Amino acid sequence: MAHPRFGAHTDPTFRSAPRPAWEVVRRVSGYLRPYWAMVVATIGCAVLSLGFGLVYPRLTRLLLDEVIGRGRSEWLAPAAGGLLGAFFLREVFNSLRIRVNNHLEQRVILDLRRDLYARLQRLPVAWFDPRASGDLMTRVMEDVNSVERLLIDGTEQGTVALLSIVGALGFMFASSPVLGAVALIPLPFLVAGALWYTTTAHSRYRRQREASSAMNALLMDNLQGIRQIKAFGRMDHEDARFAERANELREGTLVVMRAWAWYQPAMQFVGAAGIGLVLWVGGAQAMAGRIEMGALVEFMLYAGMFFYEPIGRLHGLNQMLQSARAAAARVFDIFDAVPERADRTGVLRLPVRGAVVYENVGFGYGPGRPVLQGIQLAVQPGEMIALVGPTGAGKSTLVNLLPAFYEATAGRILIDGQDIRDIALDSLRRHISVVSQEPFLFNGTLRENILYGRLDATQEEIEAASRAANCHEFITRLPEGYDSRVGERGVKLSVGEKQRVSIARALLKNAPILILDEATASVDTQTERLIQEALDRLLHGRTSFVVAHRLSTIRHASQILVVRQGEIVERGTHEALVAGDGLYAKLARIQNTTTIEESFERLGV
């Protein structure tokens, strides 16, 4: 589905080729449309500020030639006062411009970040597999800022610079040059202002960086947990959480910008007032015949302030444009990536009983890279299907096709007689729980992690699921109980504890279809026993797919599938397969305490 602001671009690749400047401007300009009034106000304030600035050289010439040159001393104070008034009004509009511009800037950044994050949430799991999370973080954070600078600063500064150049040319050719002066009187005030800003800025920037750090932590957390987010259908929930963090960053940044909105115009006014004061004093000297003609000053001011400086600013804008083009290409790579299939009109959202059928299913990660082929499987509601096979046989890929983490490239998968491609993704995944070999916990409390299974669950339901998962006892021993924080990726818990928490989460979700992908791997025997007890409760009454770690855990499976090189080479109950002379029978004869993978290695498979 095309992004509403960026048009129909669905290139599945992830290249960062340079984009033409016109394309960059066209595609990002949509973010300014909702705030057209703020754009007009920003440019209007900038033009008014420029207009009062352009008055300065002409008033200077009049002061020197008409007032001072002709000896009209009674007009000296009013003329100098008018000059100071022009300076003051210039900085008033400059301050308004900065304030409006800052709000516009932060609103655009918020919108762009939210849209980009929402897009990431809706890309398929396969899209994330080859990509580094840190790179995606950079695109969302730093590259978005570069694109925003093109939007705001480029629009405003470019317009003002062009108007300044045109105005200066007109005045320069219509005027004669005047003498310019530099004021040193404001220097102590400028130094004092700089010291104030420097010594008070730390707390403001710290707040901004802390807000940025919190948003980065949530983003990295969620990128690493994208499977869980999709499995539990929590995309909208995560959108809301991210929007909250992004809004906190916006508010922190506005605190920094608010101080700058007062400081920068005030310092500009002090410096400019110094020039006016020097001209006032110099005017008295000129009346004594010790200064040059005012026309030269006028000319030099127009040339220096309103001609050469804007030209230099345009060079800077061009450099910004080139930087923004590179950043925009990286941002557009995400917007242009093909999202998960869009739900069609009339998609099914029926309750799931749990009957699953694979009809001649095949899958490959790319041309010439088949992973599964000819998978035929029929599962009745409540049956347990176990998958065994050597590492890389395609077991995990086979079960990952069921919640549509990956789309089958051949055949079809049916749930209760309906093709999963005709079932809405949120409805499909709401009826499937996943417990993986490497359980993922979010950087929050134990309560929050278990609640991920069902956000509206009560404390009693949380504790019931925890007891069934054999984790309530160790949780209550912690100083803060269910409010204990688990750290990033659950680093404060052992592998077995994390696994039991993930089982409690799946129990709380209470989905009719369950996927267990080597859920007892990488734990000691005692922990494995606790996990297996919890899994037995979780499996009860559910259609389940179990990628086995040990044969002892799947002896009572309704069907055992032996997968080898992407094909099902044997199937049947444990007793039937052992009675035969196939690969499973050989596996059963040698597997005692070793894992299935180790046993296959011993068999040379």
What pLDDT, in 10s, does the model give residues 70-102?
677 777 777 778 888 888 888 898 888 888 888
For residue 399, the model assigns a pLDDT of 92
Asked if 390 and 601 count as a contact pair (C-beta separation under 8 A), the reply is yes
Three-state DSSP class for residue 352: coil
Distance (Å, rounded) from C-alpha 391 to C-alpha 513?
Answer: 24
**More confident call, 531 vs 207:** 531
Range with top average pLDDT, 36-40, 530-534, 589-593: 36-40
Backbone angles phi and psi of 386, in degrees to 5: -105, 140
Maximum average pLDDT range among 73-87, 91-105, 287-301, 347-361: 91-105
21-336: in CATH 3.40.30.10: no
Domain ranges of the chain: 21-336
pLDDT average, residue stretch 268-277: 62
* 173 alpha carbon, distance to own chain's centre: 52
Mean pLDDT of 566-585: 87
Q: Which long-range contacts (CB under 8 A, 24 or more apart) does 195-198 make?
A: 196/263, 197/259, 197/263
Residue type at position 258: R
Per-residue pLDDT tens for 363-406? 988 777 788 999 999 999 888 899 988 888 888 899 999 998 88
Tokens 């929402």 belong to 118
R_g (Cα) of the chain, nearest Å: 35
Distance CA(454)–CA(238), nearest Å, equals: 14
How much is the average pLDDT of 7-35? 60
